[in-house]
Structure 1
Amino acid sequence: MALTLSTTRDADTITVSVAGDVDLSTVADLDHAVLAAVDDATGVVVDLAAVTFIDSAGINTLLKSRRLADERGRHFRIANATGVVHDVLDLTGVLGHLSG
């Protein structure tokens, strides 16, 4: 499934809504969108409600984005991880770190 991204702004928070598969072939688009949001807002939420698959490249991008947000004093979190995406993030031990 192809990756689609959309962004919305509410005050100082940008939400990046992600749909489809986040894998090595699509992660560059997610990386670009999330890093742009970190540069442009004090808060970033990555909404994973419509993500059907995530691999290590996607997890790495989310962790990198969280690290950059922390370095810049920005708030960053993922939201709405469900199904296999929730399970993968939980099993790899990053769900709590990315959700908070």
Structure 2
Amino acid sequence: MTARRLTVDDELTIITAAEHRERLLAALADGEGVRIDLAAVGDIDTAGLQLLLLARREGDRLHVPVEFVDPSPAVTEVLALTRLEL
């Protein structure tokens, strides 16, 4: 089983959340696992954080592994502020 890699290229905000949500749900529907590359995320807001939580919750619900890789400093900062671990 090979995990599908999704790359977030710039921002993970209210402006881009709907687009990323569609890509994420399609990848989860494949049932093969998803690796979400967060290295290039320059900006993340609460909508972006909600999307990451959705990824984890839906992966758990569907029994599909979800892995977050290479979180950018912006992602790391938001996770530290909210005391969340992905």
Give the alignment's TM-score, normalised by structure 1: 0.79
Question: Which runs of no fewer than 5 residues in structure 1 stay unpaired?
Answer: 1-10
Alpha-carbon distance between aligned partners in 2 of 1:90 and 1:42, rounded to the nearest angstrom: 29
- Superposed CA RMSD in Å reads 1.2
Q: SS of the counterpart of 1:15? A: strand
Residue in 2 that maps onto 1:42: 32
Residue in 2 that maps onto 1:80: 70
Higher RCO (Cα < 8 Å, 6 or more apart): 2
Question: Which runs of no fewer than 5 residues in structure 2 stay unpaired?
Answer: none
**Deviation >2 Å, runs of 4+:** none
Alpha-carbon distance between aligned partners in 2 of 1:84 and 1:68, rounded to the nearest angstrom: 23
Residue in 1 that maps onto 2:10: 20
How many residue pairs are counted as aligned between the two chains? 86
Q: Which is richer in strand? A: 1
Give the alignment's TM-score, normalised by structure 2: 0.90
Alignment pair present for 1:59 and 2:59: no
Alpha-carbon distance between aligned partners in 2 of 1:22 and 1:82, rounded to the nearest angstrom: 11
Instruction: Give % identity.
Output: 34
Q: In 2, are the aligned partners of 1:12 and 1:41 still within 8 Å (CA)? A: no
Alpha-carbon distance between aligned partners in 1 of 2:11 and 2:32, rounded to the nearest angstrom: 27
| Offset at residue 41 of structure 1 (A) | 3.1
Alignment pair present for 1:32 and 2:25: no
Deviation digits for residues 36-94 of structure 1, max 9, x if unmatched?
A: 11111321111000110110001101111211110111111211112122111222122
